[in-house]
Amino acid sequence: MKTIITIQHTQSVHHTNGMVGSWTDWKLTEKGVEQARRIGEKLKAELGEKEFVLYSSDLLRAKETAEEVGKSFGLVPKLRFELRERNLGKCCGQSVQWLRDNIECVEKNIDDRMFSDAESRRDEWKRLKPFFDEIMANDQENIIIVSHGDLLSAFNAMFLGLSAEALNSFEISGLPGGVSFMHENDEGKRIIKRISDSSYLI
């Protein structure tokens, strides 16, 4: 049995100041740090003495979330570039209003890019897929992953065995601080038990 717990990073400064997240390296707010601490404490209380491996996006807001969660487990996050949020190119460092006023392409499918130097969702999928294949094939039984909303939507689809094109029709998205539980049993059947559970924030 393989257990994968994904955590969308908690409240970041860009959630409060109207700026684009993407690859801009925002810190967590004080509230976000406290939310991450609670997630770690509640997960540890629930999961007991099970040993986990902790992976995180190397962007600061995810890294800080993972560090707070890791304190409860005695873990230091393994930082992975593949877990970064989607790169939105030239609008990084700009406001959400600037994005709306200057968008070059309204995305209608996974191959569209908002800006000429941005990642498409297919680009994001291709970046994530080698990491996904790695963790599904290795012998790590208990894994925690801290990442970002758009990236975790792609992860959810991969776990369900869907193609990238499925994101043209639907996706499973979450909320900041949402915790999801996924399992693959010994017969290879994949089961999602909870998606973006926000109760760990309370």
How confident is the model at residue 111, as a pLDDT? Answer: 98
pLDDT for res 54: 98
Annotate 13-35 with b (16+ C-beta within 10 A) or e (fewer): bbbeeebbbbbbebebbeebbeb
Type of residue at 124: E
pLDDT at position 4 is: 98
Give the CA distances from residue 69 to residues 77, 94, 145, in Å, rounded to whole numbers and listed in that order: 9, 29, 10
Q: Considering only CA atoms, which of 175, 171, 136, 178 is closest in space to residue 154?
A: 171
Spatial CA neighbour of 86 closest among 48, 128, 45: 128
Predicted TM-score (pTM) of the model is 0.97
Output the pLDDT for position 93. Answer: 96
pLDDT at position 105: 96
Query: At residue 40, what are phi and psi to the nearest 5 degrees?
Result: -60, -45
Return the pLDDT at 133: 98
> Across the 202 residues of the chain, what is the mean pLDDT of every consecutive 10-residue run?
98 97 97 98 95 98 98 98 98 97 97 98 98 98 98 97 96 96 97 96 92
pLDDT of residue 107: 96
